[in-house]
Amino acid sequence: MPNINFLKRKREKGYDKMKESEVEKSPVIYIVLAWLFVSIPLMWGIYQVVLRSLPLFAGS
């Protein structure tokens, strides 16, 4: 169940400027999804690089 207050605040004007009392931890599921969103393409890119570098070691 998503945190309703969290979603509601997201829609408020000027959300990127928070007040002291508004600082609270984001729901864990959001954090996990956010990290997955950026790390999947990054890992795919790293895998491609490692794959392409194999001939270097074969040549050596």
Q: Is 54 in the site for other proteins (CB under 8 A)?
A: yes
Does residue 2 sit in helix, strand or coil? coil
Does residue 26 sit in helix, strand or coil? coil
Indicate the length of the chain as a whole number: 60
**Dihedrals phi, psi of 18, to nearest 5 degrees:** -85, 155
Q: Is 13 in the site for other proteins (CB under 8 A)?
A: no
Residue of the chain from 5, 7, 15, 24 that contacts other proteins (CB under 8 A) = 15
CA distance 11 to 60: 57
Q: What is the per-residue binding string for other proteins in 17-46, x denoting contact by CB under 8 A?
A: xxxx-xx--x---xx--xx-xx--xx-xxx
Q: Is 52 in the site for other proteins (CB under 8 A)?
A: yes
Q: Which residues bind other proteins (CB under 8 A)?
A: 10, 15-20, 22-23, 26, 30-31, 34-35, 37-38, 41-42, 44-46, 48-50, 52-60
